[in-house]
Amino acid sequence: MKLYLKSLKLHFKSMLEYKMSFIISFFSQIIIFFSFYFVILSLFDQFDNIKGFTLYEVLLCFSVIQFGYSICEVFARGIDRFDRLIINGDFDRVLVRPQNIILQVLCSDADFVKVCRVIQALIIMVISLVNLNINWTIYRVICLLLMMISSIAIFFGIFLLAASYCFITVQGLEVRNVFTDGGKHMAQYPIGVFKKGFVLFFTFIIPYAFVNYYPLLYFIGKSNNILYAFSPLIVFVYLVPCFIVFHQGTKRYASVGS
Amino acid sequence: MKFYFSYFKLRFITGLQYRAAAYAGLATQLFFGLIFIMVYLAFYESSSGKNPMEVSELVSYLWLNQAFFSLFYMLYKDGEIFDLIKNGNIAYELVRPKKLYFIWFAKIIGQRLSAVTLRCFPVLIISFFLPKPYNMVLPIGLANFILFILTLITGTLLMTSIVTLYHVITMKTLNEKGIPQVFAAIADLLSGLVVPIPFFPHFLQVISNYLPFRYVNDLPFRIYTGNIGLQEGLFGLGIQLLWIVLIVGIGYIMTNKSLKRVVVQGG
């Protein structure tokens, strides 16, 4: 943990060396990010609800997912760009060091520009919470926190899976985008909006539904089932196979040489 | 002319080599297409008021968006050109007795056409055979189809002129991440790639009418679906041509100006 914090500090310092570039990309990210919200805002300008969900309910769902994804983009960037480590052979160096492999990969990169996305997601979250008139109870607070944490966990898991995929293909293929970008895009809306097959796939194969659909139902009072509030915990179970797959991958790893 | 055409051909053929990437992209494109359609359908089902587009029009529009995505998204960066600018190899380009602007123009258009040739047909074919209401439909008439093809071609030229322009701007700023990126993100938004233009709030529709971006892809796609009539379509074609002349002119003059004071980076 100490090691990780130290590497974060180093990445942050190296980022600040290029101050102007950092500031410019920070602000351009804000505008690019806005285009995601623009979709929802303009659609709700035309329609007043989507299968019974109102604007702020969808925005809440949206911000939870964006929050988890951008946290992973900031801190787990090393895993996101794992194919680079493999392609240029740097992964060999990781293997010889007497430290946890995943920790080392996490240390290898961090992208602080994306912090602005985290902030934006939090702002949107607060705006929607203020407008939603939530009947706050201790369970609802726990529910929201669990949603946010499990949102980080699920993207971390998917990044890990995509990284283990690189052991086989060497280069990260675009197919993974279906599960990261595509999944993210889909999970921005309450998943119940979609057709059955999609819902089943994203409940049992990749458990997005437990991040922001079932808990959301409880949170906004559409369901009284207390189990829904704790359903994000299932996502952590999902992390186990992700770690196992990654581990198997490292065992089978054959260096590409350099 | 022949010289620039050979640049185009070279890039086009090189681009066709990346077939695996294109097929992998196909899955993404189909997935995104389906998700977008489902979201819109869910909105349609739960609303009772008047919708800005018919379902069939909208679905075709969204599939066209996916099929031609690799041709029309503006956030496109030509790594080769940016490298030229950053590592100083631009000096070699300047030795050649040809116009730099048109070399870049030809390169970009070649690259993007090769990407779209690999991707658009599978997406279009598959989307035609999907079950209702997810399927794409044929254009409503022959005249519409011809006008669609015409505006698609001019739209491609317009897109290239815009993209070349911000590559030219990068020659000044030396950082492709700042202003050019913001420019491209706004362009993507106002071109209808993110949300179809008819779904925009009214004031944004008006604004987008006065900017070139809508004429890149929104115009041909809406002509195809019949959302825009023939007369309005022909008028749009004229506007497209005007914008092309204007933007190519600006880009050309800017290139010449900044070449006079070009700083060759690196050694």
Tokens representing residue A145 in the block: 């926190």
- For the beta carbon of residue B257, count every other beta carbon within 10 angstroms: 12
Interface of A with B in 43-102 (CB under 8 A): 43, 45-52
Give me the pLDDT at residue A108, please.
Answer: 78
Q: How far is A118 from chain B (nearest CA, A)?
A: 19
Domain of residue A22 covers 2-252
Exposure letters A67-87 (e unless 16+ CB within 10 A, then b) = bbbbbbbbbbbbbbbbbbbbe
Q: CB A32 to CB B47 under 8 A?
A: no
Residue A257 lies in a domain: no
Q: What is the 3-state secondary structure (H, E, C) of B68-86?
A: CHHHHCCCCCCHHHHHHHH
Beta bridge partners of B141: none
Name the H helices within chain A. 2-17, 19-46, 55-75, 77-80, 82-87, 90-96, 101-107, 115-132, 138-169, 176-177, 183-187, 196-200, 208-212, 214-219, 226-230, 233-252
Q: CB B200 to CB A43 under 8 A?
A: no
Interface check A30 vs B, CB under 8 A: no
Between CA B125 and CA B175 the distance in angstroms is 40
Residue B228 lies in a domain: yes
Q: How far is B134 from chain A (nearest CA, A)?
A: 12
Q: How would you class B72 by CB atoms within 10 Å of its CB: exposed for 0-12, middle for 13-18, buried for 19 or more?
A: buried
Q: CB A38 to CB B181 under 8 A?
A: no
* pLDDT tens per residue, range A84-132: 777 777 778 778 877 788 888 777 777 787 888 898 899 999 999 998 8
Judge whether residue A15 has pLDDT over 60. Answer: yes
Residue A258 lies in a domain: no
Residue B65 lies in a domain: yes
Q: CB B38 to CB A193 under 8 A?
A: yes
User: Which residues in chain A have Cβ-Cβ distances shorter than 8 Å to B194?
Assistant: 35, 38-39
- For the beta carbon of residue B19, count every other beta carbon within 10 angstroms: 9
List the Cα angle B210/B212/B215 in 5-degree steps. 105
Give me the pLDDT at residue B252, please.
Answer: 92
Domain of residue B246 covers 2-260
Residue B267 lies in a domain: no
User: Which residues in chain B have Cβ-Cβ distances shorter than 8 Å to A50?
Assistant: 39, 42-43, 46
Judge whether residue B248 has pLDDT over 90. Answer: yes
Residue B118 lies in a domain: yes
Give me the pLDDT at residue A126, please.
Answer: 92
Give me the pLDDT at residue B176, please.
Answer: 64
Q: How many domains, in total, are found in chain B?
A: 1
Q: CB B46 to CB A52 under 8 A?
A: yes
Strands (E) in chain B, as ranges, are none
Interface check B234 vs A, CB under 8 A: no
Amino acid at A84: R
- Identify the closest residue of chain B to A191 by CA–CA distance: B39
**Of the candidates A143, A124, A123, A121, which has an alpha carbon nearest to the alpha carbon of residue A220?**
A143
* pLDDT tens per residue, range B29-67: 888 888 888 888 888 887 776 777 888 888 999 999 888
What integer is the mean pLDDT of A214-223? 84
Q: How far is A192 from chain B (nearest CA, A)?
A: 10
Q: How far is B104 from chain A (nearest CA, A)?
A: 25
Instruction: Identify the weakest region by mean pLDDT among A162-176, B209-223, B245-259.
Output: A162-176
Q: CB A182 to CB B194 under 8 A?
A: no
* pLDDT tens per residue, range B214-246: 999 899 999 998 888 888 889 999 999 999 999
**Of the candidates A122, A143, A162, A116, which has an alpha carbon nearest to the alpha carbon of residue A221?**
A143
Q: CB B24 to CB A35 under 8 A?
A: no
Beta bridge partners of A50: A53
Interface check B21 vs A, CB under 8 A: yes
Exposure letters B168-178 (e unless 16+ CB within 10 A, then b) = bbbbeeebbbb
Q: CB A174 to CB B28 under 8 A?
A: yes
Q: How many domains, in total, are found in chain A?
A: 1
User: Which residues in chain B have Cβ-Cβ distances shorter than 8 Å to A189?
Assistant: 39, 42
Residue B96 lies in a domain: yes
**Of the candidates B54, B29, B20, which has an alpha carbon nearest to the alpha carbon of residue B226?**
B54
Interface check B189 vs A, CB under 8 A: yes
Percent of chain A with pLDDT over 70: 95
A256 contacts A86 by C-beta, under 8 angstroms: yes
For helices B79-87 and B100-128, give the axis angle rounded to 10 degrees. 160
Instruction: Identify the weakest region by mean pLDDT among A50-64, A134-148, B76-90.
Output: B76-90
Interface of B with A in 39-68 (CB under 8 A): 39-40, 42-47, 49, 51-52
What integer is the mean pLDDT of B67-72? 86
Q: What is the dihedral sign for C-alpha B187, B193, B195, B196? A: positive
- Identify the closest residue of chain B to A28 by CA–CA distance: B182
Interface check A182 vs B, CB under 8 A: yes
